[in-house]
A and B are shown apart, each in its own frame.
Chain A
Amino acid sequence: MSEKDYLKDISEIKDIMNRSTRFISLSGLSGILAGTYALIGAYIAYMLLGDANYNFDYSTEILKTNYTTLSSLKNSLIGVALIVAFLSVISAYFLTKQKAKKNNENIWTPASRQLISSFAIPMITGGVFIFLLIQKGIYGIAAPAALIFYGLALINASKYTLSQVRFLGVLEILLGLLALVFFGNGLLFWILGFGILHIIYGALMYFKMERN
């Protein structure tokens, strides 16, 4: 065997180690779409909150309208968030499937299974945590908590996919903590974290790896 073959062996070893532990076909385009859905969702939420503010008496901090309005507002906001999350997951699934096909990568591999479970555990924990907060009438920290748990889920999952995902996770956590510092601006940080960051990250990934 010549030295060139030995070099080839080394690169082959590296390639197989990477491919067997990392699922790299995550689509950048799906990040752009998820960000767009989040922006549209935030706009709808803003309109809903605006309507509610109209009925809000700041001197007594009590909603003039009856309790059902508050409860239906709560339900509509949760509904918007769930629809945004659902559409993002569906888009990510189909675009990733398409990209995997192009890369000749199977979508259901040990690496992708690890990726999903390591993402899902912090994410579902966060989802239940926020749901329980809202049930107890604590709304203020829902948006910061969503950003923080999402960031933790990304960092946890980044071991099994593109390492840049880790960086996105760190930024989401920072935004979540800042949302607590600047308490009461949940929607703004939601727009930054789930909207703008996703679009920037998705676009960077797309232009870096998929444009050809």
Chain B
Amino acid sequence: MKDIIKNINKLFDHRIRLGIMSALMVNDTLDFNTLKELLDVTDGNLASHIKALEKSDYIKIRKSFIGKKTNTKYNATHLGTLEFKKHLTALERIINNKL
């Protein structure tokens, strides 16, 4: 049991960070506003969770310009994808063990 818990990623133990990663697993890139709508969170809240994921190199930020406006897009890194899969497997195991 301890083994399984070890694979639970603390960083994903939060609704918004889990949501950001889930969305980026199935979309190549997403911009800030789309994530905001999808997860129904405030700007500041989303920004801080994005920062946390970026700091761990789980997601990458790409800035570009549309005219004069900045357009910020996010995508999951290879590491982020791997960690997320590990986390999912751990969740699955815990549930299967207890049911």
Question: Considering the chains assembled together, what is the distance between the CA atoms of A20 and B76 in angstroms?
Answer: 15
Which B residues touch A17, using CB under 8 A? 22-23, 25-26
B46 at interface, CB cutoff 8 A: no
Within B1-37, the residues touching A (CB, 8 Å) are 13, 15, 18-19, 22-23, 25-27, 30, 34, 37
Q: How far is the CB of A111 from chain B (nearest CB, A)?
A: 9
Are B91 and A10 interface neighbours, CB within 8 A? yes
Could you tell me the distance in whole angstroms from the C-beta of A154 to the nearest C-beta in chain B?
A: 22
Query: Is the C-beta of B39 less than 8 angstroms from some C-beta in chain A?
Result: yes
Known: A106-B37, A109-B37. A6 touches B22 (CB 8 A): no
Which of under 10, 10 to 19, 20 to 34, or 35 or more describes the interface residues of B? 20 to 34
Cβ–Cβ < 8 Å partners of B22 in chain A: 12-13, 16-17, 20
Total residue contacts A-B, CB cutoff 8 A: 46
CA distance A1 to B13 in the complex (A): 9
Q: Would A110 and B19 be within 8 Å (CB), given that A6-B94, A6-B95, A17-B25 are in contact?
A: no
The chain A residue with its CB closest to the CB of B98 is A3
A interface SS class: helix
- Among B13, B18, B22, residue most surrounded by chain A Cβ atoms (within 10 Å): B22
Q: How many Å lie between the Cα of A6 and that of B88 in the bound state?
A: 10
Judge if A7 is at the interface, Cβ distance under 8 Å: yes
A112 to B: closest C-beta gap in Å: 11
A16 adjacent to B19 (CB under 8 Å):
yes
0/1 interface trace, chain A 1-41, chain B, CB 8 Å (1 if under): 10100110110110011011100000000000000000000
Least CB distance, A99 to chain B, in whole angstroms:
17
Q: Is B38 an interface residue (CB 8 A)?
A: yes
